[in-house]
Structure formats: C-alpha cells, structure tokens
Structure 1
Amino acid sequence: MNLTLWILTVGWIFVLLWVPFIIYTNRKTHPKALFVLFFAEMWERFSYYGMRALLVLYMTKVLFVDLAQSAAEIKSYAIYGSYTAMVYLLPVLGGLVADKYLGFRRTIIWGGFLMVLGHFTLGIQGIGDLEGNMPLFFGALALIIVGNGFFKPNVSSFLGKFYETDDPRKDGAFSIFYMGVNIGSFLSMLTCGYVGQNINWHYGFGLAGIGMLIGLTVFWIFSRGFGEKGLQPKEVQEGKVKLFGIKPDLPVIVLSLAAIPICALMLNLNEVMSTILLVISLLIVGYLLYHALTAKDKATGQRLLVVIVLFFFHAVFWALFEQAGGSITLFTEKNVDRFIMGTELPASIFQSFNPLFIILLAPLFSYMWLRLNKAGKEPSTPMKFVLGLAQLALGFAIIVIGAKYFANSEGLVSVAFIAFMYLFHTMGELSLSPVGLSMVTKLSPGKVVGFVMGAWFLSMSIGNKMAGWIGTLTASESIDEGAHPMETLGIYANTYLIWGVSVVAGAALILFLLIPLLRKWMHGIH
C-alpha cells in the first residue's frame, strides 16, 4: 500500500476515535453548545485549510507555470498574502453585522453559504477550458474571503456567550474548540493535499467545498436548540433598527455580494491591497483607542488597552507562523528529503504536522491551564503570549540549525527538522491563539465583543499580509528552475534566521518587559 494512502487512512481512523473520546470525557464539564460549534468549525477549517494546502503549489505549478520559477513564486506569495490578509480583514465587518443586525446564527449561515459557493467554483475550474481562467479563480477566492468574514469571528464570539466573563473553564473550552479547528485542518491537509497533488488539483478543491457544506448543515440543524442565544438583536426584531430604511437582512446580502468583485480585484493589486490594509488598520486601532480612552469606567477602558497592545504581538506571531502555507511548503518541496520507506510524500501533506500536534496536545494544555489555575500558578494571558512567541522562534531556530549544519550533499534536510519545527510552532500556537480568543471575550465591553473579535482577526490579517512579503524574500531572482537545492537552502536559512528567530525573539522580550503594566490594566481578569 502506498505510504501516503496508509497515512491518510490511519489519520481518518485516529480522528474517528479521538473526537468521540474528547466529547465523552468533557461532556459534564462544558455545555453542549461547545461540541456543536466545535463540529461546525471543524468542517469549516477542513474547507479552508484543504484549499490552503494546495493554493501556493497550484499557483506555482499550474496557473503561473509559464513564468520563470522565481517570478511565479513571487506572484504566488503576493496573491497568497493578499488572500489570507482579506480572509482575516473581513471578520471586522462580519462581527459588526452580527452584533448590530443579524445576530450570530444568521450571520454564520450566510457566511458558510458563500464559502461553499467559493470552494465549488474552484472545483469546477478544472472542467474544459476553465483551467487558468483568472477572473474565475479570483472570483472563487473572493467568495471564500467574504463568506469567511461572516463565519469566522462569530463562531468564536458565539462560544463565549455560553460562559460567564471570568469562568475558569473558558480557556479550556477554547482550547478544545481550537482542537476542533485543527482536526478539520489535519484531515483536510491529508485528504485534500493528497487528492490535489496526486489525482487532480480541482478534486482537492471540491473536497474542501464538501467539508464546508457539512459544517454549515451541522450548525443549521443544531443551533435551533440554543434557545434565545444568537438570534437577531431585539431592537432589530422589533423594527427599531433598520439599514437604508428597511430590515437589515436584504441590504447585508446585497452589500456582501457587491464586495465579491472588489475583493477579487484586490487579489491582483498587491500594493493597493497593502495600502488599504494599513489605512483600515490605523482607523480601527484608532477607534478602539478612542473607545478605551473615553470609557466611563476606567477599568473597562484599560482592559481594552490590553487587547490593543497584544494586537501587535499577535500580528508578529502570525507573520512568521503563516510561512507554513507559503515559503515553508516550498522549502519542504525543494529542501526536505521526502522519501520515506520508498515513497516520496507530497509537500502539502507535511502541513498536517501542525494540526496533528494540536489534536494531541490541546487536551493536555486545557488540563494544564485548569490545574495551574486551581494551584494559583497559571500564567497571565500576556505571559502566555510571551511563551507562544518564544516557542515560535525556537521552531525556526531548529530549521536554521538543520539547514546550516545537518543538510546532506544534495542540500536536503531530514524530515525530523520539519517535524520538530512544527512541534514547537504548535506549542507556541496553543500558548497564544486559543488564549487570545478567550481573552477578547473576557476583556471586551459586552456590547461590542463581536466588533473587537473582528478587530482581533485584523491583527491576523496584518500578519498574513506580512507573511506574504516575508515569503517573497525566499524567492531569489538569481535562482530559477534547475538550481541546486544547496543554493535555495542558504536563502531559506538566512531569511528564517533574521525574521523567524531574531525578530520574533526580540518581540517576546519586549512583551515580557510589558507584563507588569498589562496585568495591572486587566483589573483582576486573569
């Protein structure tokens, strides 16, 4: 049996056993809503990461195959950076729509529907003469971008509604929820990555769409058991709040459809996209600062200031972590010895290390935070961010050491270095990302929690745009098709040493020095 197929089969069996075990062992600790949202988000992430596993490889090997290798990579990184930046930019508006107009349930369902359309559009691009049709390709990505803007922030915010503000179960719940995210990611990178690279790119994209459809259906069926939670605000139901003089449902649909061609256009205008993102970021951070500094309750304002400070360190983390979907995938393609037991594993499948480690480690982290909390020794949220950044830097240090000192004469490093890099990156992610989601629901003023969650995703948008730019630093114009792997190895090692190790470790040190001030501003919220 082909080793890749064997890994795929074992992966599915493992998940089919692991998910019921997690639900069974946590059923008395957490509300049922956690597991419904866990399952819906799992399939949504199956769709997103299934497509992400293939995107850069598909662009460099199919869409831009006529360009020189370096030119194809630079163009692909730019599109990838703009795409992932908008994926995390649009949630700012999606959170606002849920807070003020549609409520969590309707917003999530509308977003999921648009994402299904986007994935299936990528899937049908392989039919006939549609291959290489750039307007269709950009339109499909735009549908996913806009849909994700409605779906992504509101699932996380909705989960927070089922726990009290300083509930000690909350960090654990978000760790379990985050594991659901990564089960979907793990399955998709194995399944869509294998199908896309070994059978047909568009079958891989189509499978991602099926995953999204499953997630949407699960949420639609079970959310009806949530009672009054997640419905439209009462002011909207009573007709007191309108948009353009009518009920907000139709205007939201029309405006979101109008946003699709705009997003498609921005994908191919890299510099314009960067400028727009900068302006939007300054405006939103400025608004949050104004809200924090003018709050009637000083403690409420200072808690929001903590979110704003951590916003910037969060962006730095994702700028380097998201190399996984870009430069690290191409590094794996070019400079990692992928032959195992006589089978050359596809580069995309190595991205599954990250979600696999999260599936295994998330329950441990959830348990660890609860135990440390009971013992009065749990690190504060800012300290968890320091730990996340430090482990991210350590992961890149492992790759740099492998590239500089342990590469063979062919310029290839052992898969062990990639595995250990993903292990430390995963522990960094678990220290920072689910805790950040939980923090936003704890420290945000109740009436704007959706908007603040959207702004939190904006920091990921900035990070992803930076990730695309950092990725271009690994694509040298002097090295093209046929270059010896030893040449590309040095470029990757130097880029990761500067950005992955030095910059990230420096950010961790700065944040460590700010911890006493941030803890004071949190006013007792741990």
Structure 2
Amino acid sequence: MDITLWIMIIGWVFVLIWVPFIIYTNKDTHPKALFVLFFAEMWERFSYYGMRALLVLYMTKVLFIDLAQNVAETQAYGIYGSYTAMVYLFPVLGGLVADQLLGFKKTILWGGLLMALGHFTLALQGFENLEGNMPFFFAALALIIVGNGFFKPNISSFLGTFYDPNDARKDGAFSIFYMGVNIGAFLSTLTCGYVGQQINWHYGFGLAGIGMLLGLIVFYIFTKSSRDFEGKGMSPEEVQSGERKFLGMKPDIGVYIISLLAIPVCAFMLDLDEFMSGALIVISLLIVGYLLYQALTAKNRVEGQRLLVVVVLFFFHAVFWALFEQAGGSLTIFTDKNVDRLVGGTEIPASIFQSLNPLYIMLLAPLFSWIWLKLSKTGKEPSTPMKFVLGLVQLALGFAVIVIGAKFFAGGDGLVPIVFLALMYLLHTTGELSLSPIGLSMVTKLSPAKVVGFVMGAWFLSIALANKMAGLIGTLTTSEAVTDDTPAEMTLGIYSETYLIWGVGVVGAAALILLLLVPLLRKWMNGIH
C-alpha cells in the first residue's frame, strides 16, 4: 500500500470540499474580487511551491550527483539562496512597473506567462541531451524569477484596492487570501513532490507549469468579465492617453523587451553566490535608504511616520523569513537524513513534509481571520507590530521543539520521531499567520497611495534578503566530514546546534527587541491599527 499516494488523494478531496466551504461562509462579508484573486494566486503558488519542493533535492540527487555530498549540498544551497533571493528582489521593479506603466492587470498577466514558460523549460530538461545542462537549468530559473517579480507584489497590492485603509475586514481578507496561497502550496508539495520523487523529476516540474497556466486563465477570464473589476488595475492615465513613454516606445512593449533581456542576466547571476550576497546587501541598503528619505522628507508628517513603521518592520520581517525558509533548504535535507519517515511500512519522501505548513494554514487561516475580526470588535486586537512579535516568538518555539526532539527523543539511529517535525511546522505556521498576511495588509494601509506597488515590492525585498541569509544559514549544516556514509547521529548534532543558535537564540532576541519598540511604532502608525 502506497501511503504517500493516499495522502495525495485525500489532500485533493479535502481541498475540493474546503475551498467551496470557505467561499460560501465568507461571500457576504467580502467582495467577489477576493475570491478571484484568491484562486489565481492559489494556482500561481501551486507552480512556485511545486518546483521549490523538488529543487534542492533535484540538485543534490541529480545535477550534482558526481560531487561529494557536502560539496553538492553547499552548491545546492548557494543556488537555492540566490534563486529565492532574486525571486523576491524583482518584485521591487515589478511593483514600480505596475504603478507607473502597465497597471496591475497587465503586469500580473505578463509575469504569470513568464513563470509558466520557466516551469515548462525545467520539464524539457528531462530530454536526454538536456539533462544536467546547467545553462538551460539556469535559464528556466531565470524565467521564473523575472515572471514572479511582475506577478507576486501586484496581486497582493491589487487586492488592497478593494478595501479602505482602516476597513476592519482587511486583515481578515488577507488571511483568507493567504490561505489561497497555501492551498496551492499544499496541493503542489503533495502532487509535484510525489510525482517528482516517485515517478520522474521533470513530470513534477511540468505539473507546476500547468498550475501556473490555470491561474492565468482564471485571472484573465474574471478580470475581463466581472463588474467588480471595472476600472480597477488599469494603467495610469498618462499611459492611456499616450503622454508617458518608456524608452521612447509604448510602455508595454518597452517592458516586454527589458524583461526578456533580463533573463540571461539573471541566469548568469544564479551561479555567482558571493556576488549575489554583496549585491543584495547594497540594493537593500539603497532601497531602504530611499524609503527612509521619503519618510523623513515627506510634506505630510503622518504619511512619513507611517512609512517609517514599514522600514523598521522590514528588518524583523527579514529575520523571520531567513529562518522560516529553512523549510525549502536545510529542513528538507534534515528530514531526509534525520527524521523517521516510515509510516505504515512506507517511507514517505522528504519533500512531502513541506505540505504540513500549507495544510495547517488552510485549517487555521479562517480561524485567525475570525479571531482578528472578533478582537477588533471588542477593542482587544493586537497592533500590527505586536502581531509581528507573536510571529517571531512562535517561530523560535518551533525550532526549540525540533532541538528538544533531536537532543532528548532521537533514537540510537539518529532519527527524530515524526511528531516533532509536525509540531515544529504547526508553530511555524501559527507564527506565519501572525506576521505574513498582516504584513501584506499593513503595506497597503501605511503606504502613500501613489507608490503602494513600489513599497510592496520593497517589502518583498526583505524576503529576498532573508532567502539569501537562509542559504547561508543552510550551509552551516554542511561539513567536509559528512559523506553519504556518515551516520545519522552525527548529522543530527550539526543540525540541532545550528537551529538552537539561529532558530531559537537569534529569533528570540529579535522578538524581544521588537517588543520594546512596539509603543513607538504604534504611535507612528497615527491611528491605523
């Protein structure tokens, strides 16, 4: 009996029941646009997380199979860190393009198309003469990077346009939207993970591309036909009237040309690990410096102080994701090496466990949405900075659980019981729900209206910085002494020490510092909760 196959089937059945239930119970509270964007984002995340579930494992087990294990893992973490960093770096430009040139609708469609091409390019690498071709592999990742830059920030910003800044429903709406993100992640890690590891890596990548196309089709049909989208997400008036050009041509043509030229540049940079680390730090400092300048010189003092809140939380947001994103890197390899994955006589593939996080979000996002609304009505809802503190604390507790499991409950074979992994993901998920959708909602509340796309892109830059940090933290779990034959009890010690220092110590300290800053940040929010 293939337990993994049954898990995948049950997962799909559950989603087919759960999604209609969520839509039905919230249809009178929120605009229809929420559910259209929810569905489009769900399929886009299906594509992204389906590929992410396989990426590090594919590199270590296929692309770098001839290298020593520690060298293969170090190279894989370096590429993974650069890839995910650029995935979240390009939204800065994508948000600017939507604000100034194309509007939300066109920018989202163009980004989705590039992402689908990237996934299908990865699938094509299954042909014998392309397997192991690194330039082809990097070109596929580059297509996804550039496409995601256009898609990711703008679908979140677009949702914000359907609510007023202080609408009590807004945090709840973003929690529901975030559940759509994670339904896609849940289905993809189960489906692409199973197909990729059990049948063929490239079929798994191909499924991710099909998911992206479905998201595009849903978005295009409903934004064209639904009255809810009339007059929303259009390009600026100066572009529609022909007054504004880009590189001396129509803005959309100029954007398409520059996008295609950016793909080989990204592909080249994926293999420049040290350069990417330095470039990210410089770019981050420049953009944060620009936001600080805008905040401190704003004619409207209230707008300036609100923007300062975004800048301060930028750094704590980066700390959260640097450790959370171990899920796609070192935690997947840890699960492969040091977790007892035998269930009912079947050894469950390591990539499948990434589905725990989105499964928990699907179950808990409606609860969190209801909690924030209920607390808001009674005047007891925590402020946005306080929610960030709660998120960081829960992330640290999650790593504490896995360290306790490794130090006190692992067997003589160096394998940690599966329950500790499940509990860690549960705490990471509740932390994520306390911070991530709240951050998206906050950006749409606190940003000046004319630059909300750019600020949202800058917000995703904090995740770019975090992902590069995640790759560097992941390399701390590798060692020259570790080979294919290294016993699991030795690797267990390396992982538990790394997670104790970074996951518990660094994250816990960040939570404490932010707690001390909460009163000042609440003051700077000037009445926006």
TM-score range, shorter chain: over 0.9
* Aligned residue number for residue 481 of structure 1: 484
Given candidates 311, 322, 330, the residue that maps to 1:319 is: 322
CA distance, structure 2, for counterparts of residue 424 and residue 233 of structure 1:
42
Q: Does 1:343 align with 2:319?
A: no
**Matched residues in 1 for 2:471 and 2:7: separation?**
30
| Equivalence map 1:8-19=2 (5 Å) | 8-19=8-19
Report matched runs for 1:343-422 at 5 Å.
343-422=346-425
Q: Give 1:496 shift.
A: 0.1
Question: Following the alignment from structure 2 to structure 1, what is the Cα–Cα distance between the partners of residues 353 and 449?
Answer: 40
> Which residue of 1 is the match for residue 27 of structure 2?
27
Matching of residues 179-328 of structure 1 within 5 Å: 179-224=179-224, 225=226, 226-328=229-331
Are 1:39 and 2:39 an aligned pair?
yes
Matched, 1:471 2:471: no
Q: CA deviation at 1:244?
A: 1.7
Q: Secondary structure at 1:459's aligned position in 2?
A: helix
Deviation at 1:412, TM superposition (A): 0.2
* 1:350-398 superposed Cα distances (whole Å, 9 cap, x missing partner): 0000000000000000000000000000000000000000000000000
Is 1:138 aligned to 2:141, yes or no? no
Give yes or no for the alignment of 1:76 onto 2:76: yes
Which residue in 1 is equivalent to 2:112?
112
Aligned to 2:498: 495
User: Deviations along 1:180-219, whole A, 9 cap, x unmatched?
Assistant: 0000000000000000000000000000000000001100
- Matched residue type, 1:416: V
User: CA separation in 1, counterparts of 2:305 and 2:110?
Assistant: 34
Q: Which residue of 2 aligns with 1:127?
A: 127
TM-superposition CA deviations, 1:440-461 (whole Å, max 9, x none): 0000000000000000000000
SS at 1:129 equivalent: coil
The answer on 1:455 being equivalent to 2:422 is no
What fraction of aligned residue pairs are identical, expressed as a percent? 75
Offset, 1:275 = 1.2
Alpha-carbon separation, structure 2, partners of 1:7 and 1:103:
41
The TM-score with structure 1 as length reference comes to 1.00
Deviation at 1:268, TM superposition (A): 0.2
Matches within 5 A, 1:418-429: 418-429=421-432
1:248 Cα deviation (Å)? 0.6
What secondary structure, in the 3-state scheme, does the structure 2 residue paired with 1:477 have? coil
Separation of aligned partners in 1, 2:414 and 2:246 = 60
What is the CA RMSD across the aligned residues, in angstroms?
0.5
Report the Cα distance in structure 1 between the residues aligned to 2:524 and 2:409, rounded to whole angstroms.
46
Shift of 1:279: 1.1
Distance in 1 separating the partners of 2:509 and 2:266: 34
Query: Which deviations, in whole Å up to 9, do the C-alpha atoms of 1:25-64 show, x marking residues without a partner?
Result: 0000000000000000000000000000000000000000
The runs of 5 or more residues in structure 1 that have no matched partner are none
* Matched position secondary structure for 1:523: coil
- Displacement of 1:521 in angstroms is 0.2
Distance (whole Å) between structure 2 residues aligned to residue 383 and residue 185 of structure 1: 27
Distance (Å, rounded) in 2 between the aligned partners of 1:247 and 1:205 = 35
Aligned partner of 2:508 among 479, 502, 505: 505
Runs of 4+ in 1 over 6 A off after TM superposition: none
How far apart in 2 are the matches of 1:169 and 1:118? 36
Residues 153-172 of structure 1: CA distance to partner in whole angstroms, max 9, x if unpaired?
A: 00000000000011000000
Instruction: Measure the CA separation in 1 of the matches of 2:202 and 2:463.
Output: 28
Return the alpha-carbon distance in structure 2 between the equivalents of residues 359 and 329 of structure 1: 21
2:177 counterpart of 1:177: yes
Q: Separation in 1 of the partners of 2:266 and 2:247?
A: 23
The secondary structure found in structure 2 opposite 1:20 is helix
Between the two proteins, the alignment pairs up a number of residues equal to: 526
**Distance (Å, rounded) in 2 between the aligned partners of 1:109 and 1:84:** 21
**Aligned partners of 1:310 and 1:11: how far apart in 2?**
35
Instruction: Give the whole-Å Cα distance in 1 for the aligned partners of 2:146 and 2:176.
Output: 26
Supply the distance in 1 between the matched residues of 2:155 and 2:246 (Cα, whole angstroms).
24
Aligned to 2:438: 435
Output the CA distance in 2 between the equivalents of 1:496 and 1:95: 34
CA distance in 1 between counterparts of 2:19 and 2:355 reads 17
Measured against aligned partners, the alpha-carbon deviations of 1:290-335 in whole angstroms (never above 9, x if no partner) come to 1000101111000000000000000000000000000000000000
- Find the residue that maps to 1:52 and give its secondary structure: helix
Residue type of the alignment partner of 1:305: L
Cα distance in 2, alignment partners of residues 459 and 244 from structure 1: 29
Amino acid at match of 1:134: M
Deviations along 1:397-445, whole A, 9 cap, x unmatched? 0000000110001000100000000000000000000000000000000
Question: Deviation at 1:493?
Answer: 0.2
* Superposed counterparts of 1:43-58, under 5 Å: 43-58=43-58
Aligned residue identity for 2:118: G
Identify the range of structure 1 (186-195 vs 216-225) with the bigger mean alpha-carbon deviation.
Answer: 216-225
Local SS of the residue matching 2:129: helix
